[in-house]
Structure 1
Amino acid sequence: MLSPRNRMRHSAEFGLVMRKGRRAGRQALGAVYLAPPPDDTAREEPPRVGFVVSKAVGGAVVRKRVQRRLRHLMRERIGHLPGGSLLVVRAKPMAASLGYDVLAAQLDSALNAVTRPREKRVHDRR
């Protein structure tokens, strides 16, 4: 189980991440990541994760099962996020029908996409 201190609970935090975070989408889920500014004192805080599992995913039992799986998967990966960072994981309807290993692979792929440093694009002007 993911520790309560590692969970996002306030809508203001979700809104901030959704407005300013980096996004990566996969077939079964999407991830939005907001790293703390380099000079921010929030780095002393633990990283926090929030989950969005809408009714499009399924009924209450299905949604809760998907959320529990995602929470368990993030518990294993939370140590790789820097302190003070915020992450929102959004389940898509396909998440309900996928196995644990496939869901884990898609989560890893999305996390790698949003947390790796941005590459500077060089425009070739001729």
Structure 2
Amino acid sequence: MLAKANRIVTASDYRRLVRTGRKARSPLALAYGSRSGPDAPLRVGVIVARSVGNAVVRNRVRRRVKAVSWSLAQEVRGLDVVLRALPTSAAADFASIDREVRRLVRVLEERA
């Protein structure tokens, strides 16, 4: 589980990042991100819509994305990221989700 310092929790932060953040896309997810500060921790928010699947599937996708984010929190600093899972992520295995989320965060880190 992500520490509170590594989570995006307010609706206004989600809205700000989705509307004004840099975008990156993969077959499994969309990512929106912006710089928060050089010493700030990585903060991650996850959006998994009903189009991904039923509650069991959505929660599985959310847990997998958060697990990858937890490991990224030690590597990346100064970035706020919102990850929106796409319906194709429902059938993806953990390794695919891990690879794509890491790639999206790296792309946002370069762009922001």
TM-score, scaled relative to structure 1:
0.81
Q: Does 1:78 align with 2:73?
A: yes
Are positions 1:115 and 2:102 aligned together? no
Shift of residue 9 of structure 1? Answer: 1.0
Q: Shift of the alpha carbon at 1:47? A: 2.5
Q: In the TM superposition, what whole-angstrom CA distance separates every residue of 1:63-103 from its partner, at most 9, and x where no partner exists?
A: 011000000010001123223x3110110001110111111
Report percent identity of matched pairs: 27
Distance 2:68 2:40 in 1: 21
Residues 33-55 of structure 1: per-residue CA shift (max 9 Å, x gap): 1102xxxxx55543211000000
Q: 2:87 aligns with which of 66, 69, 93?
A: 93
Deviation at 1:107, TM superposition (A): 1.1
Name 2:2's counterpart in structure 1.
2
Aligned match of 2:50: 55
Structure 2 stretches lacking a partner, 5+ long: none
5+ residue gaps, structure 1, are 37-41, 119-126
Cα RMSD for the two superposed structures: 1.6
Higher Cα radius of gyration: 1
Which structure has the highest helix share of the two? 2
* Partners of 1:82 and 1:89 in 2: CA distance: 16
- Code of the residue aligned with 1:68 in structure 2: it is R
8 Å Cα contact 1:35/1:82 also seen in 2:
no
Which stretches of structure 1, 4 residues or longer, exceed 6 Å deviation after superposition? none
TM-score by length of 2: 0.90
